[in-house]
Structure 1
């Protein structure tokens, strides 16, 4: 890629020239030039004269997409313990222009999320508000905080309603640890919050908080889905369809739960929530049964992503051997896109998951997920590499893929950010 600068009187601020522009919202897929002026998309055309732009980036051989949207992030740094990552490392410095924190802030801590994360970050930071008063603390260490007594319906509805610019949904967990302790009551309260706030409910499936396991107090992880789904509305989200943990879409017999098909038919949505839950083995089973996700969240956090420490800082965490979230040393949303391509999904199905479908889930289709002229210039540029590369999930399953996507840079409201995050994985080529 080469860049060049034209005269300062040129009508466009910036030109991306010669890339493959894919914009599902406008039906565009082909070689196009894209011009930006005053932080907005000014033109998309087969050819735009480079002399009309002050700065030109040659992006031939690359994919030019609407700014990627990560629907499952953990970016409430410091407040959520080791879970919270720096927003811009997950966001613009990883080629992602919008990150949704899934359940980090609560009605009590949302003002801090606004002031310390959303406002100072270059990345657009949104949130699905936790149904729990404590928000996304380290629940596997303090599970008693996530009981029904830790939910205040009225306060959470009021917070969500008063902060619509940030809050785009509600987050709760339907997993065997919580069910064995308290039954279904927490999910009933979370569903009430979402109904009253008129927002989608994003429900985690798959074991999360460790013991008690399936069978404790008479609870069976394989019954959770069939009990929770009737509480949900069209547009609510079932998360972690490819989880390796008990209580997910694939039961202990290795079969996709029979209630899933009916749930999808009545308009419930599916988010990958990749992270440390993802299993290639179970993903193949779910995809073969017709479970194709609507959206793709990376689910990166400080337990499943190696965060380089400053010199002199201890590199080990006292809980490293005991927590249930051990995952990739480095990871990214774009790497998650590569995972889905390696499973046989076409690029035409994967791109909407991180653009148009994600914008629709957030109720922001008129603002995000498109490169139409007039929109804010949120743009992601990806390298589309060929070769043989090795991918590995948390079960130890290795998959060889001949296609690897890597972030090059992004524009956030027209400002360029190189993909230089230390969280980004290095490709693992397979020797010929």
Structure 2
């Protein structure tokens, strides 16, 4: 029985799953002064000021989205509001993947990280321009757009916020500049002693002269030797050329060896995700370590105030607007629909990303003394339709939806307007 000293909040009767502490069962969770105070089979309700009945729901350590795009306004239509992706979607921590650069990190710190209710971190872009709308302006991402020394200095001096480096290994870039930019990104990562998160899958399109002799099938074999244990391979289930699957539909043999050597795999769900590719990859042992939603303004319906300029709203570069298929809980539901048990999915959004960020001592677990970051989810049963951007349709018998979260003990309901709606099959 827990100590009956007064608690601020008590979450009663939910299924608590905390992989970091080995807990999985019906428990009560007590919070005091913004921190986890106790996790017990039963805690006396009168010991808490606020008692919340969460029976029938999942109670997880505050979920960590490892792949967000939340540098709102600065990255054009790409950047979403951090709290729409974060606490208002049941997610307590969001990692912006490559939005800020060494030039724009001060603005990211002041206007995003310090202003958001969500806990925010960044993987610093290897490029001076950061995460601008590169599919419109690919030449900004050439070797001339990389300053190794300045980026190392920025990353090293801001490690409270910067937890890694973001680079791109994709055929559009390789066709223009070869492997040079990736070599520079790896140099930044090594010198700053931070993990390198590598985007795979075509992103910027090919130059007018075609692929300039480059073969998307060779990118993996050329990039992976640049990496080291702890680095992250993103988009394992991408539907675009240059990913984990070769033109014959087979997983590159080097992937399994890389994972065995300590490289990590992050799903980076969003518009890159393909059920078809996932079904080919999972039997080959490509099991994700972490799971990011990869929501951004080009794959999410973002409510626009009247009179807001939106010059790209209807063009061909913005084909997914309005489909609202992506969130971290939707990505978790996708993994479960592919046959990965819930018990193996939960570490992908809690314990494992905390380890990836080097923050296992403070987030990613429901341990006494840790920040009271808690995600409470609906666990719906039935028949639900899930779709990817190839329009592959999957019938799931289980759907996770966010109910609310606590961030340092403060409650935020899951009322984000960009959350997908459940679709019955």
Interval containing the TM-score (normalised by the shorter chain):
over 0.9
Q: Which residue in 2 is equivalent to 1:261?
A: 256
Q: Tell me which of 12, 21, 26 is aligned to 1:17.
A: 12
TM-score, normalised by the number of residues in structure 2: 0.97
1:95-110 aligned within 5 A: 95-110=90-105
Aligned residue among 348, 352, 357 for 1:353: 348
2:33 to 35, 38, 55: 38
Distance 1:268 1:49, change over 3 A: same
1:378-400 per-position Cα deviation (integer Å, ceiling 9, x unaligned):
00000000000000000010000
Whether 1:332 and 2:349 are equivalent positions in the alignment is: no
Maintained 8 Å contact 2:301/2:321: no
Residue matched to 1:118 = 113
Aligned counterpart for 1:130 among listed residues 103, 125, 134: 125
Alignment pair present for 1:402 and 2:397: yes
Distance across 2 between alignment mates of 1:193 and 1:146: 15
Q: Could you tell me which residue of structure 2 aligns to residue 161 of structure 1? A: 156
Matched ranges for 1:373-388 at <5 A:
373-388=368-383
- Which residue of structure 2 lines up, in the alignment, with residue 286 of structure 1? 281
Structure 1 residues 152 and 37, CA, compared in 2 at 3 Å: closer, same or farther? same
Task: Tell me, yes or no, if structure 1 residue 225 matches structure 2 residue 220.
Answer: yes
User: In 1, Cα distance between the equivalents of 2:217 and 2:323?
Assistant: 27
Query: Please, which of 203, 209, 216 is the counterpart of residue 211 of structure 2?
Result: 216
- Cα 1:315–1:199, aligned 2, differ >3 Å: closer, same or farther? closer
Equivalent residue for 1:83, pick from 66, 78, 84: 78
User: Whole-Å Cα distance in 1 between the matches of residues 259 and 16 of structure 2?
Assistant: 30
CA distance 1:147–1:275, change in 2 (3 Å): same
Q: Specify the SS of the correspondent of 1:267.
A: coil
Q: C-alpha distance in 2, partners of 1:294/1:325? A: 27
Residue of structure 2 equivalent to 1:4: none
Q: Deviations over 1:46-75 (max 9, x none)?
A: 000100000000000000000000000000
Q: Distance in 2 between matches of 1:267 and 1:213?
A: 38
Inter-CA distance 50–316: structure 2 relative to 1 (3 Å threshold) = farther
Decide which of 143, 160, 168 is 2:138's aligned counterpart.
143
Residue pair 1:81, 1:137 contacting (<8 A) in 2 also:
yes
Deviates more, 1:254-263 or 1:316-325: 316-325
Contact 1:176 1:212 in 2 (8 A): no
Q: Taking structure 1 as reference, are residues 315 and 39 closer, same or farther at Cα in structure 2, changes over 3 Å only?
A: same
Matched, 1:365 2:388: no
Match for residue 53 of structure 2? 58
* Aligned residues of 1:33 and 1:47 also touching (Cα < 8 A): yes
Q: Distance in 2 between matches of 1:269 and 1:429?
A: 34
Deviations 1:111-153 (A, max 9, x none): 0000000001000010000000010000000111000011111
Q: Could you tell me how far apart the structure 2 residues matched to 1:127 and 1:306 are?
A: 23
SS in structure 2 at match of 1:401: strand
**Structure 1 counterpart SS, 2:324:** coil
Structure 1 residue 368: Cα displacement = 1.0
Alignment partner, residue 272 of structure 1: 267
The whole-number CA distance in structure 1 between the counterparts of 2:402 and 2:61 is 13
Moved more, 215-224 or 50-59: 215-224
Instruction: Quote how far apart the aligned CAs of 1:321 are.
Output: 1.6
Report the secondary structure of 1:276's partner residue: helix
Partner Cα separation in structure 2 for residue 199 and residue 119 of structure 1: 22
Distance in structure 1 (CA, Å) of the matches to 2:120 and 2:35 = 19
Residue segments in structure 2 that go unaligned for 5+ positions in a row: none
1:171 maps to 2:174: no
Q: 1:280 to 1:298 in 2, by over 3 A?
A: same
Aligned residues: 422
Q: Which runs of 5+ in 1 are unaligned?
A: 1-8
TM-score normalised by structure 1 residue count: 0.95
Contact 2:300 2:320 in 1 (8 A): no
SS in 2 for 1:89: helix
Equivalent in the alignment of 1:3? none
8 Å CA contact 1:328, 1:394 repeated in 2 = no
Q: 1:258 Cα deviation (Å)?
A: 1.2
